[in-house]
Amino acid sequence: MNSLEWNEVAGVFDFKECLKQRKDYCIMATRIENINSEIINWAIIRAGNNLEDFYQKYPHVEKWIKGSKKPTIKQLEDFTHKVHVPFGYMFLSQPPKESVPIPFFRTGKKKNDKVSLNVYHTIQLISERQNWLTDYLEESDYPDLEFVGKFNKSANYFEIVKDIRETLRLSYNWASKMGTWEDALDYLTLQIEEIGIIVNFNGIVGNNTRRKIPVEECRGFVLVNKKAPFLFINSADAKAAQMFTLIHELAHVWLGESAGFDNQSLLPANDPVEKLCDQVAAEFLVPEVVLAEKWKESHDFKYLSRLFKVSPIVIARRCMDLKLISRVAFFDFYNNYIKNYRFKKEQQSSGGNFYATAKKRVSLRFASFVNNAVNENNLLYRDAYRLTNLKGNTYEKFIKEYLYQA
């Protein structure tokens, strides 16, 4: 790979190198000649835009394509910001090949290798964190996590659930000791991180509130390796569904399988591993034997949710699994629940504590490793900022006031 190609991949373009190696591109009076229309169109479509609509909104870009106008460096930079591509990509001879590094499953279907740009960039961001942390843990002689890949897809889901509970040091009725199911979610997340798994909750790309991650496309994904498994939960989803997604992803760790999923209506894709993870999540949260007994006392989902410390929709889903209610009854309840949740969310203010949100977006466990590496002079501050999406004083305040208080 020559220096020009490396700079392009890194998103940095060396104009002097361009003049030496690329005769077809030349820059005169800060305007760029011979724009590659294929790259421009690829970038527009890649960002989820319709070409005609984009050109109508930004007619000057269409003039670049037709050759009637040449962009300045600043104009081209502004364009790349709009479509979320590195500036250097504009000077590639052809669009780069991009692929999702994990299988992505859709409810009722097989895996899919196409996702939106926001999901793609989020997977890249989490993958970068995992790569860094894996290297750091290896250099620090941290042992492999024994539970990763401990079972395979032919395993009995009751055995997997039992092993997960024992590893997390959770009693059979641990959730009943929690005040609410929201408390149970927080406690469960803490226990998961204690055994060496990083959990990230976020509903946007990094801290960019304009780049939302649609729940209907991605409820979450899991990146599995022996040193540092990462779980990503879409925090734009109802907390009711986040608990189920969390355990579904945890099951993936025990099976040693990375994946992303939409889990529409909390239902799995048509895949053996997905179905097994789904069974694990359901049994872990709402044990079959206990629910069957409690169902004799009450058919009230809200009452049962308070007993099991899970959301009413998880109770309804489990009742459908056990044929205590019909699929029609479940979907009626599920759709009404989600509709009411979204209505209430719309009525709430969009404010909130940035640092409290950052704790979930970054993960306190991950932040502690980053901070340790900085203090050991094994990581530059600029790299710590990039890995945490926190910069300067914001990073310093987060570390001093929020990390050490945890």
Q: What is the pLDDT of residues 382-401, one digit of tens each?
A: 999 999 999 999 999 999 98
The answer to whether position 322 is within a domain reads no
Q: Are residues 134 and 261 in the same domain?
A: yes
pLDDT at 5 over 50: no
Choose from 51-55, 56-60, 128-132, 208-212 the range with maximum mean pLDDT.
128-132
Q: What is the pLDDT of residues 125-163, one digit of tens each?
A: 999 999 999 999 999 999 999 999 999 999 999 999 999
The answer to whether position 295 is within a domain reads no
- CA dist., res. 355 & res. 333, Å (int): 35
Q: Are residues 251 and 201 in the same domain?
A: yes
The answer to whether position 14 is within a domain reads yes
The answer to whether position 132 is within a domain reads yes
Given this model, what pLDDT does residue 13 score?
45
Q: Report the candidate in 247, 401, 276, 326 with the shortest Cα–Cα distance to residue 316.
A: 326
Q: Report the candidate in 310, 273, 304 with the shortest Cα–Cα distance to residue 157.
A: 273
Given this model, what pLDDT does residue 3 score?
35
Q: With 0-12 CB in 10 A as exposed, 13-18 as middle and 19+ as buried, what is 237? A: buried
Q: Are residues 199 and 277 in the same domain?
A: yes
Q: Are residues 153 and 18 in the same domain?
A: no
The answer to whether position 294 is within a domain reads no
The answer to whether position 341 is within a domain reads no
Q: Are residues 130 and 63 in the same domain?
A: no
> For the chain, what is the domain count?
3
Q: Give the CA radius of gyration of the chain.
A: 24
Q: Are residues 282 and 207 in the same domain?
A: yes
* pTM of the predicted structure, to 2 decimals: 0.82
Say if residues 151 and 161 touch (Cβ distance below 8 Å).
no
The answer to whether position 298 is within a domain reads no
Neighbours of 380 (CB within 10 A): 11
Q: Are residues 46 and 176 in the same domain?
A: no
The encoded tokens of residue 88 equal: 């250097």
Q: Which of 288, 304, 334 is the last residue of a domain?
A: 288
Report DSSP letters for 119-137, one per residue.
Answer: HHHHHHHHHHHHHHHHHHH
Q: Which of 234, 266, 288 is the last residue of a domain?
A: 288
Q: Are residues 242 and 108 in the same domain?
A: yes
The answer to whether position 37 is within a domain reads yes
Q: Report the candidate in 19, 12, 17, 55 with the shortest Cα–Cα distance to residue 37.
A: 55
Q: Are residues 154 and 46 in the same domain?
A: no
Given this model, what pLDDT does residue 351 score?
59
Q: Which of 288, 323, 340 is the last residue of a domain?
A: 288
Q: Report the candidate in 11, 4, 1, 36 with the shortest Cα–Cα distance to residue 88.
A: 11
Q: Which residue type sits at 127?
A: S
For residue 29, what pLDDT band results from cuts at 50, 70 and 90? very low
Range of the domain at 177: 104-288
Q: Are residues 33 and 111 in the same domain?
A: no
Q: Residue 31 phi/psi, 5° resolution? A: -105, 145
Q: Are residues 144 and 263 in the same domain?
A: yes
Q: Residue 220 phi/psi, 5° resolution? A: 170, 175
Q: Residue 21 phi/psi, 5° resolution? A: -100, -25
Given this model, what pLDDT does residue 51 score?
87
Region 204-220: mean pLDDT is 91
Say if residues 218 and 262 touch (Cβ distance below 8 Å).
yes
Say if residues 240 and 311 touch (Cβ distance below 8 Å).
yes
Q: Are residues 256 and 164 in the same domain?
A: yes
